[in-house]
Structure 1
């Protein structure tokens, strides 16, 4: 425990005393399969975030995005997320090889509620599945297959507080963080070289 944090919660009893218990509706909302509503949500989602951990419990959260419908649904208990080209760190994939537990958050632009799915993940290279996930004539080399264990809608409070989908809350472009500048600082590189590399990657290596 960090010495910076001097007054911490040590038990669920302490936590419940402060924050209370979920309502009966919240306790009932979890299902263990993909019903028609969950499938419809996934089919409309162009962005998701996956949470994984290695065998020691070190965690990682990573975004996955594509055209709506890019996640392939297999019946009521399984879905498949294509692994498009990235930076080859493979953090999520390597974690899954050590610890198959996965959490997924599906997001739809303008909608403030999200869909949460927890389950067991497998790194697959099943040709019959991968060829159905082709984009711009390029087939993913691997994908993340997920067996659904929990599925539920998450309320909109975080999005309402952040006003994420409200354009009047967005920063102007000149006040946004500069990825090339950050990467240059972290890697002791030249900002112009990093900017050119990012531009080439985004324009030519999305798939």
Structure 2
């Protein structure tokens, strides 16, 4: 295939891809399991952070972070887990996508561990009070949760984290050199009277008073 927007040389078939890279090793071909065993449960129990990947009915994709104290994802049985939906900005991108397309992908991360756990499956939005009450924090019960029917679990190698140095403090940027998020938001929304200072104050209030 030639041409895709500004891209001139585009791979368009699995066979072409395999000609370039070959087949995965036997270990990689056989590492996926269909349910959460004791290793997967332990990994999830120690993970304070994950990324949720969803897509709408048209296939438009979204990736969204979720984080809380280690073990915040509730495991029901070998094939079902629940991710609590904490207060956010009310865009509800992941939630809306799941309502039209239940397919979901998860990546669980544990600080300092460069391998990650990937889970794929189907999701729904739940209001089961008995389950949600188990994920209450500071007396606040999540209104809804993302229920996941697990179909595939496997470990992902450490190469991305090794290349990025994500967990290595010596590779982190110096204080004061990272992007100014408040200024970015103010410039992007382009609303009269919305300044970086006001955005910063709003963010601080949200982070301080509306985490749960």
Same-fold status (TM-score > 0.5)? yes
Q: What is the deviation of 1:3? A: 2.5
Match in the other structure for 2:205: 200
Q: How does 1:19-30 map to 2 (within 5 A)?
A: 19-30=21-32
What is the number of equivalent residue pairs in this alignment?
A: 207
Distance 2:22 2:200 in 1: 49
Q: Which runs of 5+ in 2 are unaligned?
A: none
Match in the other structure for 2:155: 153
Q: How does 1:70-149 map to 2 (within 5 A)?
A: 70-149=72-151
Match in the other structure for 2:54: 52
RMSD: 0.7
Q: What is the deviation of 1:79? A: 0.5
Distance 1:190 1:21 in 2: 53
Q: TM-score, normalised by structure 1?
A: 0.99
> Helix, strand or coil: the match of 2:176?
helix
> Helix, strand or coil: the match of 2:154?
strand
> Helix, strand or coil: the match of 1:87?
coil
Distance 1:84 1:111 in 2: 25
> Helix, strand or coil: the match of 1:74?
strand
Distance 1:173 1:49 in 2: 26
Q: TM-score, normalised by structure 2?
A: 0.96
Q: Which runs of 5+ in 1 are unaligned?
A: none
Deviating beyond 6 angstroms after TM superposition, the runs of 4 or more aligned structure 1 residues are: none
Distance 2:87 2:184 in 1: 22
Q: Deviations over 1:80-128 (max 9, x none)?
A: 0000000000000000000000000000000000000000001000001
Distance 1:13 1:72 in 2: 40
Question: Is the 2:4–2:10 Cα contact (8 Å) retained in structure 1?
Answer: no
Q: How does 1:162-177 map to 2 (within 5 A)?
A: 162-177=164-179
Question: Is the 2:105–2:118 Cα contact (8 Å) retained in structure 1?
Answer: yes
Distance 2:13 2:174 in 1: 43
